Amino acid sequence: MSLPEPVIPQEPRWKRRPEARPDEIIDAALRVFGAQGFSRTKLEDVAHLAGVSKGTLYLYFDSKETLFREMVRAKIITIIAAAEQDLLNSTAPAGLELERYLRRMWARMREPAMVQISKLVQAELTLFPELARFFMEDVMLRSRRLVGRILDRGVANGEFRPIAHNFAVRGGGIALLIVHGAQYQELLAQFDPGALTDADFIDGIIDFVLNGVRIRDDSRRRHPRKD
């Protein structure tokens, strides 16, 4: 996959606000990591795309690993953190909180560069155990705890049923629907004659998830007896 076209600075380099540079570098890192993968990415490529020197990049990020971590924090963990704060301050039904979080994560993970990052995580991070541990602890487990708190709130207020195996949280069921759904829409939907729109896709995920955790009518049986 070819490297994205360099970003042309909007003003002379010496007039750019220094406080903007970390964000510009992180934005460039997202595109380069997504296009090249972690192993093939070079910091000079990121610097070039961001319109800064490699020396300037090193003023903010001392290694490729550090840059990757900060890119993940900026692009993914901020979404989780915002949802955590909203949950603390909200008295909305748990179903609404879960829907809000799913829509936020879908909007971010559906971005083309983020689709490539999710592929990178699946294909490469096992080769870098420290980064894999970071991603598990700071992204997956943190997201799991958040979803778990939403589901617990729903169980406590009578919206959701307790699920013994807890697959929706511990098995990654909800997260996988978002990640793999976004990958499908970006990479394969163009070849699918029955492809859904993005709006229909996330609406379908939300419907699937909420109906999987809501209280069921006890009068219904999974396998009704045939007379």
Does residue 128 fall inside a structural domain? Answer: yes
Domain co-membership, 105 together with 27: no
Place of tokens 């490699």: 54
Domain-embedded: residue 227: no
What is the predicted pLDDT for the residue at 172? 59
pLDDT tens across 74-90, in order?
999 999 999 999 999 99
Kindly list the distances between the CA atom of residue 218 and the CA atoms of 56, 109, 221, in Å, as whole numbers in the listed order.
63, 37, 7
Domain match, 184 and 98 both = yes
State how many domains the chain has.
2
> DSSP string of 89-136?
H--S-HHHHHHHHHHHHHHHHTSHHHHHHHHHHHHHGGGSHHHHHHHI
Final residue belonging to a domain, choices 15, 40, 62:
62
Give the Å distances, CA to CA, from 223 to 52, 208, 213, 219.
64, 20, 19, 12
- Residue 2: CB atoms within 10 A of its CB come to 6
pLDDT in tens, the chain (227 residues): 455 554 433 343 434 455 568 999 999 999 999 999 999 999 999 999 999 999 999 999 999 999 999 999 999 999 999 999 999 999 999 999 999 999 999 999 999 999 999 999 999 999 999 999 999 999 999 999 999 999 999 999 999 998 766 777 765 578 889 999 999 999 999 999 999 999 999 999 999 999 988 987 753 444 444 44
Are 105 and 189 members of one domain? yes
Amino acid at 81: A
Q: Is residue 148 part of a domain?
A: yes
- Tell me the residue range of the domain where 158 lies: 71-213
- DSSP, collapsed to helix, strand or coil, labels residue 214 as strand
Q: Give pLDDT tens digits for 98-120.
A: 999 999 999 999 999 999 999 99
Residue 196, pLDDT score: 96
Q: φ and ψ at 16, to 5 degrees?
A: -70, 145
Classify residue 13: in a domain, yes or no: yes
51 and 96 assigned to the same domain: no
Q: Does 133 lie in the same domain as 30?
A: no
